[in-house]
Structure 1
Amino acid sequence: MNPVGELRAFVRAALVDPVPRDHSQPDSAFRRRRVVAAVTLLLGAGLLGWALRIEPGDPAFYVATFALAAVWAVGAFASGPLHLGHAHTRDGRADSRAVVQSLMLGLALLGLFLLGAVVVAQVPFLRDPVQQLLDHAQYGSLLVVAAITAVNGVAEELYFRGALYAGVGRRHAVAVTTVVYALVTATSLIPLLVLAAALVGLVVGLQRRVTGGILGPIVTHLTWSLGMLFLLPPVLDRLS
């Protein structure tokens, strides 16, 4: 198969053709999931808005972000069953876990955003809010910030592509969860972070639709977010 055909097959397997499954639940459980998801969303949005306004170097940032991860994760597990999901293999089976595909998607997103940094670095209006967010790693402990990034990435996917996705219903779940994810991120008042949430949210939402679970979105999210944490600061510094 030629490279274009390989790419087309990869996109269809990873983001287009759903893996068969049956995750139906009783109406009472579905309504309960919606209530828990709504309460969690309100608490999480408030905590995120507070956490991203804390000055770099302030220990309160660590407390706020770990608390935020706890809210997303507890709300997700309290809402009902969560599934890891399955992915298509190259020979057409649907019995593998979505790890390799997800790593590739995460790396593709990372490359796209690092290319975008070439433009961002030249525009102070876009660069400065991002730089202030990255300063948490510069003025604090990079290892702790990396742990926060990883823990929150997992927790966000447990909630947005787990509890919330299942609570929305099948018809518009990708669109709704992507929009809600972007709106919640808008509490940061960082334009590029909102754009990132929309794009990453769309990709992992499509993964959730295809795989029926949260493993693929988690792997993609972590690959992208940890890559951005370690690679974006030197790229911005070199281009600014």
Structure 2
Amino acid sequence: MGSAWWRRTRAQVEARLPMPITHVVPVQHTETAPVVRRRRRVVAGVSLLGTGLLGLSLSTKPNSKEFYGLTAAVAATWTAGGLLSGPLHLGWIQGRDQHLRRPVLTPVATGVGAFGFFYGCALVARSIPVLDRAIGKVLVFAEEGSGPLVVATTLANGLGEEVFFRGAMYATLDADRAVAASTAVYTLATASTRNPALMLAAAVMGTLFGLQRRASGGLQAPVITHLTWSTLMVRYLPPLFRHAHQETP
């Protein structure tokens, strides 16, 4: 009896396991020519505005009104640009039983795994002076800022970035090159901060988010992964680099 129950339970669990991230859900969204033209115009303009605001936000003092105002403006710019560009889709995840479900547990687990990977890399980066200083300069905003405000701005920007880069921008690109191209633009936008650690994180996570967007056909998976990863990063990474920003003049 117990053995039969275990076999049934295992079979049910295995059936609900997601397909590999390289598997693309067979759901397509077609867009009219006017929607495509409008999306491209919006994406071009918002890319320049958002990139400029992002660079300014990290040139302000931590826990200052300017910092919170500019980071809120960055999040609003990305989000508004994505929503105004045209229709966006949540996407699906396909289980091994071939059923389509909205992605929730898998992207949460992916976000936790990504944080674990970055935490391990952070332990190594502390021994590399250029990365130690670069990461410390970013995390000082979390270390010295108001906890609730830091979390709120972090999550708002994570959501906005996905709505714009994996939503609006991804939809304007050729499907075969969308992952690489959207990640490249995402990384270039981060270059406005002049921080190599942020650029490296954007390249790695942008690739992961892009793969999730391609596999699921929508935003829900990359959004949940991004928010999970960001929350853990801003909560647990700052203490590792407290020495770096304390030494920064």
With normalisation by structure 1, the TM-score equals 0.91
The Cα RMSD (Å) is 2.2
Whether 2:131 is the aligned partner of 1:130: answer no
> By how many angstroms is 1:82 displaced?
0.5
Amino acid at match of 2:122: A
Q: What SS is found at the alignment partner of 1:16?
A: coil
Q: What SS is found at the alignment partner of 2:175?
A: coil
Gaps of 5+ in 2: 1-12
Alpha-carbon spacing, 1:14–1:50, altered in 2? closer, same or farther (3 Å): farther
CA distance in 1, matches of 2:21, 2:44: 27
The correspondence for 1:221, drawn from 199, 217, 226, is: 226
The correspondence for 1:118, drawn from 123, 135, 139, is: 123
The correspondence for 1:232, drawn from 237, 240, 245, is: 237
> By how many angstroms is 1:172 displaced?
1.0
Whether 2:173 is the aligned partner of 1:157: answer no
Instruction: Say which one has the larger Rg.
Output: 2
Report Cα offsets for 1:13-54 as digits up to 9, x if no partner: 251111111211111211111111111101000000111111
Alpha-carbon spacing, 1:237–1:62, altered in 2? closer, same or farther (3 Å): closer
Which residue matches 1:182? 187
Which residue matches 1:65? 71
Whether 2:61 is the aligned partner of 1:55: answer yes
* Count of aligned positions: 233
CA distance in 1, matches of 2:204, 2:232: 16
The alignment-based identity, stated in percent, is 41
Report Cα offsets for 1:151-173 as digits up to 9, x if no partner: 11001000000000001132211
> By how many angstroms is 1:238 displaced?
8.8
Amino acid at match of 2:106: Q
Which residue matches 2:45? 39
The correspondence for 2:86, drawn from 68, 80, 87, is: 80
Report Cα offsets for 1:98-147 as digits up to 9, x if no partner: 11111111111101100001111122221122212211222220110000
CA contact (8 A) 1:14 1:101 kept: no
CA contact (8 A) 1:72 1:158 kept: yes
CA distance in 1, matches of 2:175, 2:132: 37
With normalisation by structure 2, the TM-score equals 0.88
